[in-house]
Structure 1
Amino acid sequence: MANRAYNFNAGPAALPLEVLQQAQEQFVEFDGTGMSIMEMSHRGKSYESVHFETEALLRELLNIPDGYKVLFLQGGASTQFAMVPMNLLSPGKVGAYVHTGNWASKAIKEAKMFGETAIAASSEADAFMRVPSVAELNIPENAAYLHLTSNETIGGTQWAEYPKLDSVPLVVDMSSDILCRPLNVSQFGLIYAGAQKNLGPSGVTIVILKEELIGKPSMPVPTMLQYATHAKSDSLYNTPPTFAIYMVNLTLKWIKKSGGAAAMERVNREKAELLYEAIDGSGGYYRGCAQPGSRSIMNVTFRLADEELEKRFVQQSEEAGFVGLKGHRDVGGLRASIYNAVPVDSVRALVAFMKDFKQRNG
């Protein structure tokens, strides 16, 4: 479509055009039912077929082994910041966290409300512009779990490899990079991800957790905030976000049709390389924020000489049809979020704009 924006929003983010078009076609009437999927009972066969197919697609695309539950919850990653310690912490145990920036900080803040926490590693001394190495991890012997944020959208850092742990479950917030590459799910005790960056629209949160971690919490926890509640009812204890789950279903089918997680990684790395080459090859005009060894393939962050020039960049980029290039309000700068659904052509167009902007404003 000629009038589609170059969408680099950090979230909610770009969705595949063909997914949007298919949803448009089925918006008023789904699968010959005479009604929209938003209008039907979540207990009916038509919706349940979508619900369980979505779970099956996730299991296939992520190669989720037996012994794991897949849940469709609400509240985004922000609710998971609290649900994790509420369900996994117990007296005498400590929640261990790797502090890599804004989202890790919020997870730590929530955990402190429910029990003891410890910082197993931190990149604060480097302004969160890198990810700690596995060798830096100092996990307490009484840790209930180790929590890390896979991809920090604000700083533009990402774990290239995850630590392999035997002693404690690894809990990871993958909201901004799930299914951007293949994953060995058996390394993890719990994975959670808001869908609104790589999997679909806002409104549903994916949780993948080992069945052995599902139990009665050691503290009083509201029914809706217990993993066991949703695991027992296949995420149908209450009315789930049916339309958001349907959109995840269509997005997962698009990922499968496109070649799966391995194909997503190839394209994502191509997009990231285009942008980082434009930044690094600009003679210092553009300056990458994250340290090279920790650079994200989902969120590319960079700066210009001063804030006035960055404001001009944002203004002129918007006039040229680019959306979402302003950096997060907490750190400023510039950011291009290149999630799965962002086409390579959009990145090529951005690189061309960056070169043109330098010529006109250098």
Structure 2
Amino acid sequence: MTQPVWTPPHPLSLEWKGDYLALLDQRRLPAEKVVLQITTAEEVREAIVHLAVRGAPAIGIAAVYGLYLGMRNFQDGEEDAFWQELPRLVDDLNAARPTAVNLSWALKRTAAKVETLRSRSVEELKAAILAEARAIHREDAEVCRRIGEYALTLLKDGMGILTHCNAGGLATAAYGTALAPMYLAHERGWKLKVYADETRPVLQGSRLTAFELQQAGLDVTLICDNMAGAVMKEGKVQVVIVGTDRVAANGDVANKIGTYSVAVLAKAHGIPFYVAAPTSSIDLGTPTGAEIPIEERAAEEITCGFGKATAPEGVQVYNPAFDVTPAEYVTAIITENGIVDPRDKEGLRRVVLHKQTIAEK
């Protein structure tokens, strides 16, 4: 398949520059467009932990480049040391954020590929890691576009769409997952009206989604998280589309905290609630949403967000980064291989197992 042309009005979330990884520092948006030059695995890990790069597909891609950066100084003749370090580094990068399954998926895929080449030289093994990172990066752009094309079949020109968090080009290699149909609709001249929840406490909706959609010339309106029900009741929203960090085998969906509330509101108002998910986000090894590990982040994100105290010192804080929406609240899951009812376990398995890489096609 041909890689889609993607010319966003902002720097790409990440680019491989030959000897370093360029990461758009998403902590600095929208005020500043700062691109980090990442040269070590530890810098990649820190960028993932501290949200310089975020979004499930993007952190998976970044992690595999990080694996290459961490292994690239090994030389021929150091095979034993190479094979000792590789699994340790995979585990270290995988621990950076526990909820997004794309992170472990990308690292496991790469490690499995390298394992098939165990008899090769260290130089060949390093080249294989970099090649796999670039393949995953390239495939993600095509996967996102295909998700967008399937999602377009569920939309109509003039619709109002609500989205939560950021599942756009900034969270992926290109296009995004939940935002992909909005970009494709814009290319076709459709006039969609997008409502972006601010997404507390780190404000990915206001800092990132509103930023990238506005930069691309789409009609976007920012709302506070607690306005979602009101805009639904007012008839401004006809559909909700969100991304995901992990889908369990029973169709339960983990996504940015607040997604569950939006899903409940959508059901109460009779509004379809769609989840845009690459098949790499569907975890058939996790039976239900109850088994999805939920990352809990620092209290300061709530009590002192962006450097200003907004809560009394010493107050107790509960700050899970994600919540789980039960499958019964999800109208459909939109993947690059088609649209599936989340309660159809065999359907979920089918879209995952029928996945083919771009190279295989």
TM-score by length of 2: 0.32
Q: Which has the higher contact order (CA 8 A, sep 6+)?
A: 1
TM-score normalised to the size of structure 1?
A: 0.32
Larger radius of gyration: 1
